[in-house]
Chain A
Amino acid sequence: NAGVTQTPKFQVLKTGQSMTLQCAQDMNHNSMYWYRQDPGMGLRLIYYSASEGTTDKGEVPNGYNVSRLNKREFSLRLESAAPSQTSVYFCASRMTVETQYFGPGTRLLVL
């Protein structure tokens, strides 16, 4: 099993550009999450999906949209990137117990 995979690994955007971060898990987990991690800080929840077909806002949802395409995939979209969205983005998933499994992350720089 690959676990949680994310693409791309790195991305540089100009202010105003859009992009979609992809996340997929092969563990048959119900819940999936998107976090951002800024330097020297913990992880902050952007959006989550408790199950296929449902999504909900987390702590810092402004400027982002998500799609739970199917049970495996959960994408994060930046419609108009801003420098404040420069961060490392982690996708995570879990089944029914609390433990979350994280992907390797996407490092995003917005100029």
Chain B
Amino acid sequence: GQQVMQIPQYQHVQEGEDFTTYCNSSTTLSNIQWYKQRPGGHPVFLIQLVKSGEVKKQKRLTFQFGEAKKNSSLHITATQTTDVGTYFCAGPENAGRRALTFGSGTRLQVQP
């Protein structure tokens, strides 16, 4: 079945350092979404990418969708303690169930 993999599983950075998480799908995706989950919280939608090669920015966060629409990345510039949490990518299932397949997530810890 469809698999969505994320690396790294965990990253610990000093405040001010940059951070990147990578997402790879076993199948071509019609779109990819990113969610953030704060410790003890629930996933919150960040962004959706649809077009091949698309790049979107939200303040210090830069999201990219690969040319082949099978991979994506999230880059955070100059991390802050408010960036702490787990970042998930998710792509539509290819089984026609209108559900999402989530990656296993990258947990980011930021040391002040």
Residues in A neighbouring B92, C-beta threshold 8 A: 98
Q: Which chain A positions have C-beta within 8 A of B97?
A: 45, 48, 50, 56, 58
Which listed residue (A41, A44, A97, A104) contacts B42, Cβ 8 A? A104
Instruction: Decide if A48 touches B105 in the complex (CB within 8 Å).
Output: no
For B33, what are the chain A residues with a Cβ–Cβ distance below 8 Å? 98-99
How many chain A residues sit at the interface, stated as a range, is: 20 to 34
Q: Can you offer 14 A-B residue contacts whose CB atoms are under 8 A?
A: A33-B99, A35-B102, A43-B43, A45-B97, A48-B99, A50-B97, A58-B99, A90-B42, A97-B48, A98-B100, A102-B43, A103-B42, A104-B42, A105-B42
Given A40-B107, A42-B6, A42-B102, 16 more A-B residue pairs with CB atoms under 8 Å apart are A35-B102, A40-B9, A43-B43, A43-B102, A45-B97, A45-B100, A50-B97, A99-B33, A99-B48, A100-B43, A100-B45, A101-B45, A102-B42, A102-B43, A103-B42, A105-B42
Q: Please report B residues at the A interface, Cβ cutoff 8 Å.
A: 6, 9, 31, 33, 41-45, 48, 88, 92, 97-100, 102-105, 107
